[in-house]
Amino acid sequence: MTIAAHGLSAERSGRTLLHPTNVNLKPGERVGLVGASGSGKSTLGHVLVDTLRARGTSVAHVPQSPDEALDPLRSMAFHWREAEQALGLSPDDARRADLFNALQIADSDLRKRPWSWSRGMQQRFVIAMALIGTPDLLVMDEPTSALDPVVAAGTMGLLDAYLRDRQTALLLITHDLGLAARWVSRLMVMEASRIVEDAPTPRLLSTPETKAAKALCAHRNWLELPC
């Protein structure tokens, strides 16, 4: 089933955070959302997730920072149980062990609270929580910014297999064009709270049309130097 959300918009106290925007994703499609800081990428991600959720579409979101995903007063075990209950699932140790092994956080102590884990481990825990269910769409906001390059590559590899198995679509919000070039087939470029260019990744990276896309691609050839 194609995921389509039309007329997404956001404003706060009279200021427009997102101009009316349409987003369409085919099942299993991977799309990157790129643009300068403050261009409205995260806002579009939030509005898209909230709109689809309200409509009953199964969608998971990984925020930019684990601080925006975890309650510092609650243990990791509490977060995990709560996420399972929210999806209506009963506790499944095997499922948890699979995800934790894949994300290399199996040795960590779930009784601890988030701040006694490293940020990279917190981030992988949040990604694991997003993968508990089988969402139709996974929105990830800078998923690898807290991870070192080796772990980042491993995490993306796990995601690749997971998304392919379940036909889950991916919206990857990032300023890392190398990451985008490696993992997504289509790129959307944002500038000043609207999408200004939407094209297959190789086409956009080789011949960007808009000023914003040209500025992003100017520094080096992302297709030749992925990741």
Partner 1 sequence: MIRIFAGLLARAVVVLTGTALATFALLWHAPGDPALSIAQARYGTVVSKEVLDFIRAEAGFDDGFWTAFWAWLAPLIQGDFGQSSVNGRDVWPDLLTAMSYTFPLALVSLGLGLAVSVPLALIATRRPGSWMDRSAVALASVGVAIPAFWLGQLLILLFAVQLGWLPAMGAERTAHSILPAMTLGFGLAASLTRILRSGILEARGQSFLPAFHRRGVAQRNIARDHVAPHAAVPVVTVLGLELAFLLEGLVVVEVIFARPGLGSFLVNAIFARDFPKVQAMVILAAVIFVVVNLLIDLIYRILDPRMDGRDA
Which residues would be at the binding site for partner 1 (CB under 8 A)?
Answer: 46, 49-50, 53, 60-61, 63, 67-74, 78, 82-83, 85-87, 111-113, 115-116, 129
Of residues 184, 136, 183, the one with CA closest to residue 156 = 183
Of 70 and 199, which has the nearer Cβ to partner 1? 70
Classify burial at 62, counting beta carbons within 10 Å of its beta carbon; exposed 0-12, middle 13-18, buried 19 or more.
Answer: buried
Of 125 and 222, which has the nearer Cβ to partner 1? 125
Min dist. Cβ of residue 173 to partner 1 (A): 14
Residue type at 146 in one-letter notation = A
DSSP state of 58: -
The position carrying tokens 């009316």 is: 20
- Quote the tokens at residue 198: 């939407």
Would you state the torsion angle of the CA atoms of residues 156, 158, 160, 166, taken in this order, to the nearest 10 degrees? -140
Of 76 and 181, which has the nearer Cβ to partner 1? 76
Of 83 and 223, which has the nearer Cβ to partner 1? 83
Min dist. Cβ of residue 57 to partner 1 (A): 12
Distance CA 172, CA 187 (A): 9
Min dist. Cβ of residue 68 to partner 1 (A): 5
Of 115 and 209, which has the nearer Cβ to partner 1? 115
Across the chain, where does the E strand assignment appear? 3-12, 15-25, 30-35, 59-62, 137-141, 169-173, 186-191, 194-200
Residue type at 126 in one-letter notation = V
Min dist. Cβ of residue 183 to partner 1 (A): 22
Min dist. Cβ of residue 128 to partner 1 (A): 12
Residue type at 159 in one-letter notation = L
Around Cβ 38, how many Cβ atoms within 10 Å?
12
Of 60 and 213, which has the nearer Cβ to partner 1? 60
Min dist. Cβ of residue 123 to partner 1 (A): 13
